[in-house]
């Protein structure tokens, strides 16, 4: 199978859907000729023109609000938010307007829009261009949240997001844009709410999202070399969350670590760990562990930034402790 970058996969998904459905348009800063700073959308304006690949002023709340209104009236906008850190700027339009419109109107109005943005630290971009803020939006009823972990995932989840009739926020790992993975030429979709079991194992379950999936897989390799067997699960979407696949795995392995690049406190790791503890408690042989980003603004210096996020070594070490039974007082 051919291999393409995550960036190309996102581009293909959007182009395929735009060819099929003229109601789709892209709106955001420097999306047309510039193709975004990460060049993810390069070439789209040549095919679809500036009426469908719409460059805006630097006004995130404004173009987010415009997308909400367009989505309520027959269009299917794809909003490009250059950095995930800019989510704070669009919170009212996303969380008070887009997320609630269907519910507040008693089901009469739909807001079929996609907000594509990114996450991920270690790009030496400091505290306002490095955050992983998916927990903020996952907290709000009415928003779906997709977290692709490879080029294949990015294309299939993007196509599903575009066809969804709800606001969907899709977080791409900005450090993975140039990472290649096998992606079929044929059209495919990845349904929301269906987790992917990437590796089967018997001693511990590693639930990992987005950027942390590769970390978990590498940790599983380390553990395997030491004779320990880790199962790796990528939820793919955190809203909706495929709880069943996670619980089934933990009932088998009796141990779990949840790994996610958002800040650890009040985050995705806590939510998933809590569901495991509530619903698989009597199957557990060790406390469920959370591994998120440190609760500090992301520092600039490489010496500091690198220690803020989980790595394969830190995940493998935590798994060793769990499997050995040394974690009873870990909290």
Binding site for another protein (CB under 8 A): 23, 25, 51-52, 56-57, 59, 61-75, 77, 92-93, 96-97, 101-110, 112, 141-142, 144, 160, 163-166, 189
Cα–Cα–Cα angle for 181, 132, 143, rounded to 5 degrees: 90
Q: Which is nearer to another protein, 140 or 216 (CB)?
A: 140
Residue closer to another protein by CB (options 96, 178) is 96
Q: How far is the CB of 230 from another protein (least distance, A)?
A: 33
Q: Quick one: 240 or 287, whose CB is closer to another protein?
A: 240
Check if 16 is active-site: no
What pairing do the DSSP bridges indicate for beta strands 256-263 and 204-208? parallel
Smallest distance from another protein to CB 160, Å: 6
Which of 12, 17, 60, 172 is an active site residue? 60
Q: Nearer Cβ to another protein, position 101 or 132?
A: 101
To another protein, the closest distance from the beta carbon of 35 in angstroms equals 20
What tokens does 125 get? 């971009």
Instruction: Say which of 17, 29, 102, 129 is annotated catalytic.
Output: 129
On whether the CB atoms of residues 102 and 68 are closer than 8 A, the answer is no
Q: How many CB atoms lie within 10 A of CB 161?
A: 29
Q: How far apart are the C-alpha atoms of 25 and 69, rounded to whole Å? A: 13
Q: Is the separation of the CB atoms in 155 and 170 below 8 Å?
A: no
- CA 103 vs CA 44, 100, 110, 115: distances in Å: 34, 5, 9, 19
Q: 112: number of CA atoms within 13 Å, CB side?
A: 15
**Ordered alpha helix ranges (H), 164-311:** 211-225, 243-253, 268-279, 302-305
Closer to another protein at the Cβ: 191 or 302? Answer: 191
Q: How far is the CB of 23 from another protein (least distance, A)?
A: 7
Tokens 């996450």 belong to 119
Confirm whether 187 is a catalytic residue.
Answer: no
Residue that has been written with the tokens 């909706």 in this structure = 240
CB of 302 to another protein, least distance (A): 36
User: What is the set of active-site residues?
Assistant: 60, 129
């Amino acid at each position: 199978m051919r291999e393409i970058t995550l960036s190309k996969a996102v581009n293909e998904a959007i182009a395929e859907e735009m060819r099929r459905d003229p109601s789709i348009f892209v709106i955001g800063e420097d999306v047309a000729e510039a193709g975004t700073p990460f060049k993810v959308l390069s070439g789209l304006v040549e095919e679809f023109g500036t009426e469908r690949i719409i460059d805006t002023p630097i006004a995130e709340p404004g173009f987010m609000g415009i997308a909400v209104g367009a989505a309520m009236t027959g269009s299917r906008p794809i909003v490009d938010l250059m950095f995930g850190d800019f989510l704070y700027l669009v919170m009212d339009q996303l969380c008070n307007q887009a997320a609630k419109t269907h519910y507040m109107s008693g089901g009469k109005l739909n807001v079929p829009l996609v907000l594509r943005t990114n996450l991920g630290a270690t790009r030496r971009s400091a505290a306002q261009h490095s955050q992983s803020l998916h927990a903020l939006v996952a907290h709000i009823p009415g928003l779906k949240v997709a977290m692709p972990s490879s080029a294949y995932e990015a294309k299939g989840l993007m196509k599903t997001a575009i066809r969804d009739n709800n606001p969907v926020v899709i977080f791409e790992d900005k450090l993975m844009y140039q990472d290649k993975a096998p992606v079929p030429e044929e059209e495919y979709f990845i349904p929301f709410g269906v987790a992917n079991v990437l590796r089967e194992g018997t001693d511990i379950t590693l639930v990992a999202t987005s950027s942390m999936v590769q970390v978990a897989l590498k940790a599983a390799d380390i553990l395997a070399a030491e004779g320990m067997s880790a199962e790796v699960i990528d939820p793919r979407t955190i809203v909706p969350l495929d709880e069943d696949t996670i619980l089934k795995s933990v009932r088998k392995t009796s141990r779990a670590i949840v790994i996610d690049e958002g800040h650890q406190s009040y985050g995705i790791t806590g939510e998933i760990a809590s569901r495991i503890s509530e619903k698989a408690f009597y199957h557990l042989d060790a406390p469920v562990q959370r591994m998120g980003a440190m609760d500090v603004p992301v520092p600039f210096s490489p010496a500091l930034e690198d220690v803020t996020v989980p790595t394969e070594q830190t995940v493998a070490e935590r798994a060793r402790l769990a499997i050995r039974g040394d974690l009873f007082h870990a909290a």
